[in-house]
Amino acid sequence: MSSLIERQVKIEKGAAIEAAAEPPTLSIVTTLYNSAGTIEAFCTRAVSAAESITSNFEIVIVDDGSPDNSLRLACSLVRQDARLKVVELSRNFGHHKALMTGLMHASGEYCFLIDSDLEEDPAVLGKFWETLHSSGADVVYGYQRTRSGSPFRRATGALSYKLFDLLIPYKIPANHVTVRLMRRAYVNSLLLHREQQTAIGGLWVITGYRQIGVAVDKIVRRATTYSFIHRWHTLINSITSFSETPLVAIFYLGLAISFISGIYAAALLLRWLVGGVGVPGWLSVMISVWLLGGLAIFCIGLIGIYLSKVFIETKNRPYTIVKAIHRADTQNVESSEAEE
């Protein structure tokens, strides 16, 4: 019983300290996953970039269940700099949810979102800051002029964006990356989205506001954790999360097949009336069976994907679960709170 009381006192103490502090001008938000090799250099560069703009800033680091010692290294950095805060999740919830959780724990008037792998230099913050204020935009996002990676990865990436443009009613910027600078009003609106299964790239767009892009250089420093299977899953998830076009296409596909089948049936009937039917059309029957069977299975599977999303959303499970918040002033605040 006493341990529960002490834990609650820690949480309330941390919340009181955070509430009493002046809200930061700038929040830099990043995530950890196998980031042990870059987290120290990232924090050094991020602090330098932030200090060139304002002295009142924070860096929010979300540990997305990283299997290496990224969390331990990040906590050691927190003890050295009170402007750093580590949000430890109870397990791996995925990159997109970790980013959104970081934004939930960021309180700055401006939020700078960037990955900690140093594939984008934190120094681009200065350029983004100038562009945001000179243009009056609400969001400045980064994009690559040309995609990095192998020819296969570039080709599949280009195909993905073509499918997005074809199936999704919202224009997704081509080759956009995680790094972006956002005003508080936009961040508050972004956090209104609570889908359990979604793609953050689509959320960035459908939130609206005035957004402009800035070209950035992206350096591939390590093998990507996004395998082809992962990328394929992200593609399907993105399309089914933001577009009803595939469902509408099934309806028109059924109409087209019915129309073609009607014409074919009329032709067979005419042939029978004129000259009779010769050798039975075994080949055409087999082709028809396989074609229509495959289409039926595909359509049922597609409907199943949409239905599974409805099933998951109705469960209303926690968005993420925060195991602990590590700060210099409170050291380790165990929270086990659900981000609903």
Q: Show me where the domains of the chain are located.
A: 2-243+317-339, 245-315
- 3-class secondary-structure state, position 214: strand
Per-residue DSSP letter, 172: P
Q: Is the pLDDT of residue 151 over 90?
A: no
Q: Outline where 21-145 has alpha helix (H).
A: 39-51, 70-80, 95-104, 124-135
Alpha helix stretches (DSSP H) within 147-244: 151-167, 184-190, 200-206, 228-242
In the structure encoding, which two tokens stand for residue 176, read together? 């956009």
Q: What would the mean pLDDT of 131-141 be, rounded to a whole number?
A: 91
- What value does the mean pLDDT take over residues 270-282? 62
Burial (CB count within 10 angstroms: exposed 0-12, middle 13-18, buried 19+), residue 68: middle
Task: Specify the 3-state DSSP secondary structure of 100.
Answer: helix
Strands 57-63 and 84-89: parallel
> What was the pLDDT predicted at 113?
93
pLDDT at position 11: 43
More confidently predicted of 265 and 181: 181
How many angstroms separate the CA atoms of 6 and 330, rounded?
13
Confidence of residue 169 (pLDDT cuts 50, 70, 90): low
Yes or no: domain 2-243+317-339 corresponds to CATH 3.10.620.30: no
What is this structure's pTM? 0.68
Q: Picking from 95-109, 135-149, 167-181, which range would have the lowest pLDDT averaged per residue? A: 167-181
pLDDT digits over 88-104, tens only?
998 888 888 888 899 99
Average pLDDT over the chain, rounded to whole? 76
Closest CA to 213 of 160, 120, 136, 144: 144
Give the mean pLDDT of 248-262.
70
Of the candidate ranges 57-66, 69-78, 187-196, the one whose mean pLDDT is the lowest = 187-196
pLDDT confidence tier of residue 232, bands split at 50, 70 and 90: low
Q: Tens of pLDDT along 63-85?
A: 988 888 888 999 889 888 889 99
